[in-house]
Amino acid sequence: MMKTVLITGATSGLGLEMARLYHQQGARLVLIGRRPLAQLQEDLFTEERYCQVDLGLPEAAEVIKNWLDERAIETVDVLIHNAAVGYYGTVADQPTPSMAQLIQVNVKAPIAVTHALLPRVTAVRGQLVFVGSVASVLPTAEYVTYTASKAALDGFARSLRIELGEQASVLVLHPGATHTGMHEKIGISREKLNWEKFPAAAVVAQHMVAVIERGKGGRVALGLGNKLLRRVGLTAGAIVERMMRLAARPERHLAQENSKRPHVVITGVAEGIGKELALRFAWAGFEVTGVDVNVGGALETKRQIAQRG
C-alpha cells in the first residue's frame, strides 16, 4: 500500500532532498511550503502534492488540515516537521517581530500541525518526525532564540512519545550542521563560519530517510561527531556551559598573554559543529586538541586556526 509522507519546509534544503528521495520510493507526497506554486520549477511540485501556507501564520495548521480534507487524504504515515527559521545575533539586537516569527515557525507550528493531524497519523500507527538540532543541548551565544526553539521542540517530542505509546512513533533527528543555505540567509559570513564546507543536504537527507525508515522512535544524532557533541551536552552540561561562556568572551583570554592557556579537547573537528567549536575556542585563546578520523579535514581546521592567529 502506498504510504503518505508529509514534509514541511519542502521547497529547499533538507526538506526538498527528502521529498526527492520519497518520490523515488513511490510515496504519496504532501509538500508544505510558503512559496507560490508558480515559482517552483521542479516537477515534484503539483497542485495535488503542494500545499502553500506560511507556517509563520497562526492558522497554518488549519489550512493544512483543510487541504488534506479537500483531497480526501485521510491518513498520514510519516509527518516530518522540517521547516525552521534561524537568527544569528544577540538577543538584544534581535527585532521583536523576528523573535515572534522564529518561535511561531520553529515551535508553535509543529505543535499545532501535530495536534491537527494526529488522528491521521495514529490511524495507521504512523511516524512523527521532528528535525531538531545538536545546538539544543549546546548553549551558544548569538543563536539564543534558535537553540531555545529547538530545545522546546525536543521537550515536546519527548513527552509526546510517552503519551502516545504504541499509537505512533516519535522521532527527533539531530542532523548537525548542513549546507542548506540557512546560514547565508541569516547573515553569517564565510569568515565567521565556513558553511560551504558543511555536508551537502542531499547526503544528510539520505541518512535521515534511512533512520526514519527503521520506523523507531527516540532521539538520533547523525554522524559520530554529532553523537559525541550531543552526549557531552547532555551529560556534562555545567562544564559545557562554562566553556561556551569563556569562548563567547575572547577578550578575557587574549588579554592574559602571560598566564597558562586553557586547554580543550574536541572530537569531530574536521567539519560541522565540531570544527566551529574548535575555531571559536582557538579564537578565545584556548589551546585546542582536535580528534577526527578525517585527517584531511582536521588538517584544514588546523590551518584555519593558525591563519586566525
Active-site residues: which are they? 146
Q: Could you give the CA distance from residue 297 to residue 27 in angstroms, rounded to a whole number? A: 37
**In this structure, which amino acid lies at residue 123?**
A
Name the residue among 220, 201, 216, 170 with its Cα closest to residue 9. 201
80: Cβ contacts below 8 Å, ≥ 6 apart: 5, 6, 7, 8, 15, 18, 129, 131, 212
Backbone angles phi, psi at 53, to 5 degrees: -160, 140
- Sign for the CA dihedral angle at 133, 291, 193, 263 comes to positive
d(C-alpha 149, C-alpha 105), whole Å = 9
